[in-house]
Chain A
């Protein structure tokens, strides 16, 4: 373990030669204690990240049926996956969710954070806690609550729409389910993103605002032309997390399926499809292929996004 020939940082002790060896070896041994500190994590990392990925990749190269038994099929499963309309349809759907949902969350979170940054009253402090509160609710419970709220039998929708003399729409029909899900996710996560953006705003040196004001900028101009560009690295971090999360969309549609199974097929998102393949159809090899493909696509997607925004995100 101690002699991995990978790039040692410049500050690491050079391998001592000859007479120096005895004197330096104490320091070197001490630096290698670092391995002992990271060892427990490396065990967990190997067992529950590296090993499952390798195992899934291995399984995805085989095919198993009752008739033929298990046999090696190479990349056949991948050829099948990337021509499978159910997998591609699910991928397309989560991409569409990403395009609609991430800007929605960012706008709500950004506006709330900008308002909180300019107002510092007890009212705004209370609002901050209330807007964050949904994040403290487990995603399942949040989805479960909304499934009641959307329900024509329990929900307040009909009462509220009656006030305006309108009929409540059916939130769980296949036409509306897309936005019903967008609403749940926005409700659940905007508060979290708001806190991240708000903290980034608090870290800006206020002197910059004064300079802008003296130059005659209005509050709105300061918000859009000074504050937003200055927190772009936090924004990109938020978008990356939202992207990783959205592409793995699973919990909310799974919970809503029990009230809106007609509008939400079992293959609605790639994760749901993999789950159905594994647990409803026992196609473990193909399920592993789908899970692995999804993992790769999400990794490449987030990596590509960070690469494209490398100027703003502060990562090298």
Chain B
């Protein structure tokens, strides 16, 4: 797989022709033309991996199109006649008064309000840490960095107890407010701001008489746009995926996000309660709830790839 490097890699490497020729000769002599075979081997291994990762998603897609009967009787990885997807969607509107759609709406509400709030808070704090040298900055930032290692799920039960003191259990606030906490987002914003916002630009704005807030709004925010989108995406997905917190702080079925709601249907169906066995609704409901996330990851590739790696590559 290492042979003919200049030709195989997208980032064509800076090599002289003589270098390349010498290398090719050397490689050929040593391995006598096994290069093509090794690249095929690598591809095969990669494809086997891709199949392992994608088959369960394929299964979900197929299962979403089946009635409960065919879920049991037909081969798991292929479609069955007749397709029941639209019947399942209708079922989702009918079962328990269409509560599924309410759950989906709740997920959107929680994810976007918490995601937006967490992002605003993180952008402000990241900029504050990156561009101001106030006393105590290092100590406070060190504390925040250390808190990245505090396991957030260990906070769920204390948070539940605290929220119940203030009567916030079983309200949307019980999910949204704790989700505003995103120390890692602050870290990412600080790292990004340091490089993306030159100090000279801020000085120029100050000399021109712009106040600190105005400088931030009109000059800094546009420069930070790519990082803002990244942190927003990651916070929205984080809240959308959260399970432990809403499971602990919400019991009213009307307030559940779709993840907790579907888990409840799964538990009831497995318990074998006659009227509650809604396997087809679980699979089609799960599929519908996954589509927006898969699509947004597909279309926002640039951002999540940047965001997932921002903190790890120095």
Number of interface residues of B (CB under 8 A): 112
Contact B133 A33 (CB under 8 A): no
Cα separation A121 to B243 with both chains bound (whole Å)? 38
Complex contacts, B266 vs chain A, CB 8 Å: 144, 147, 255, 258
Complex contacts, A214 vs chain B, CB 8 Å: 19, 23
Tell me whether A291 is interfacial, beta carbon within 8 Å.
yes
For A121, give the chain B residue with the smallest CB separation: B43
User: SS class of chain B's interface: helix, strand, loop or mixed?
Assistant: helix
Contact B313 A4 (CB under 8 A): no
Contact B53 A131 (CB under 8 A): yes
Cα separation A292 to B312 with both chains bound (whole Å)? 29
Cα separation A72 to B120 with both chains bound (whole Å)? 41
Taking CB atoms and an 8 Å cut-off, the chain A residues in 280-316 that contact chain B are 284, 287-288, 291-292, 294-295, 298-299, 302-303, 314
Give the residue of B13, B45, B120, B162 whose beta carbon is less than 8 angstroms from that of A210.
B13
Cα separation A303 to B305 with both chains bound (whole Å)? 27
Cα separation A221 to B125 with both chains bound (whole Å)? 44
Contact A133 B54 (CB under 8 A): yes
Cα separation A50 to B122 with both chains bound (whole Å)? 17
Tell me whether B297 is interfacial, beta carbon within 8 Å.
yes
1/0 per position for A188-226, CB-CB distance to B under 8 A?
001110011001100100110110011011110010000
Since A48-B177, A196-B312, A292-B158 are in contact, a sample of 19 more A-B pairs with Cβ atoms closer than 8 Å, ordered by chain A residue number, is A8-B137, A8-B138, A12-B134, A30-B206, A32-B132, A34-B128, A40-B121, A51-B162, A115-B46, A119-B8, A130-B54, A141-B290, A148-B59, A233-B312, A238-B312, A258-B266, A275-B248, A279-B248, A295-B154
Contact A284 B155 (CB under 8 A): no
Name 30 interchain pairs, CB-CB below 8 A, sorted by A.
Answer: A6-B135, A12-B133, A32-B135, A38-B140, A49-B183, A53-B155, A118-B8, A119-B43, A131-B53, A133-B57, A140-B241, A140-B262, A145-B286, A159-B76, A187-B53, A196-B308, A199-B312, A206-B11, A209-B13, A210-B19, A213-B2, A213-B5, A219-B3, A244-B151, A258-B263, A259-B270, A284-B161, A287-B157, A288-B157, A291-B155
Give the residue of A116, A154, A190, A195 whose beta carbon is less than 8 angstroms from that of B309.
A195
Interface size class of A (residues with CB under 8 A): 35 or more
Contact A34 B314 (CB under 8 A): no
Report the minimal beta-carbon distance from A214 to chain B, rounded to whole angstroms.
Answer: 7
Contact A209 B54 (CB under 8 A): no
Give the residue of A47, A130, A248, A295 whose beta carbon is less than 8 angstroms from that of B50.
A130
For B309, give the chain A residue with the smallest CB separation: A199
Give the residue of B2, B151, B248 whose beta carbon is less than 8 angstroms from that of A298.
B151
Tell me whether B17 is interfacial, beta carbon within 8 Å.
no
Taking CB atoms and an 8 Å cut-off, the chain A residues in 1-43 that contact chain B are 2-9, 11-13, 30-38, 40-42
1/0 per position for A225-269, CB-CB distance to B under 8 A?
000000001100110100010011011001100110000000000
1/0 per position for B131-155, CB-CB distance to A under 8 A?
1111111111000100101111111
Tell me whether A274 is interfacial, beta carbon within 8 Å.
yes
Tell me whether B112 is interfacial, beta carbon within 8 Å.
no
For A235, give the chain B residue with the smallest CB separation: B312
Cα separation A120 to B7 with both chains bound (whole Å)? 10
Taking CB atoms and an 8 Å cut-off, the chain B residues in 89-138 that contact chain A are 120-122, 124-125, 127-129, 131-138
Give the residue of A12, A45, A140, A275 whose beta carbon is less than 8 angstroms from that of B259.
A140
For A108, give the chain B residue with the smallest CB separation: B49
Give the residue of B132, B136, B157 whose beta carbon is less than 8 angstroms from that of A6.
B136
Contact B154 A291 (CB under 8 A): yes
Tell me whether A96 is interfacial, beta carbon within 8 Å.
no
Contact residues of A with B, CB < 8 Å? 2-9, 11-13, 30-38, 40-42, 44-45, 47-49, 51-53, 55-56, 59, 108, 111-112, 115-116, 118-121, 123-124, 126-127, 129-142, 144-149, 153-156, 159, 187, 190-192, 195-196, 199-200, 203, 206-207, 209-210, 213-214, 216-219, 222, 233-234, 237-238, 240, 244, 247-248, 250-251, 254-255, 258-259, 271, 274-275, 278-279, 284, 287-288, 291-292, 294-295, 298-299, 302-303, 314
Report the minimal beta-carbon distance from B46 to chain A, rounded to whole angstroms.
Answer: 5
Give the residue of A44, A138, A234 whose beta carbon is less than 8 angstroms from that of B241.
A138
For B178, give the chain A residue with the smallest CB separation: A48
Cα separation A200 to B134 with both chains bound (whole Å)? 33
Contact B149 A302 (CB under 8 A): yes
Report the minimal beta-carbon distance from A37 to chain B, rounded to whole angstroms.
Answer: 3
Report the minimal beta-carbon distance from A224 to chain B, rounded to whole angstroms.
Answer: 12
Report the minimal beta-carbon distance from B70 to chain A, rounded to whole angstroms.
Answer: 10
Taking CB atoms and an 8 Å cut-off, the chain B residues in 76-90 that contact chain A are 76-77
Cα separation A36 to B127 with both chains bound (whole Å)? 11
Complex contacts, A190 vs chain B, CB 8 Å: 53
Known: A38-B125, A119-B43, A288-B158. A144 touches B2 (CB 8 A): no
Contact A2 B42 (CB under 8 A): no
Tell me whether B200 is interfacial, beta carbon within 8 Å.
no
Contact B57 A134 (CB under 8 A): yes
Give the residue of A33, A153, A196 whose beta carbon is less than 8 angstroms from that of B132.
A33
Contact B76 A155 (CB under 8 A): yes
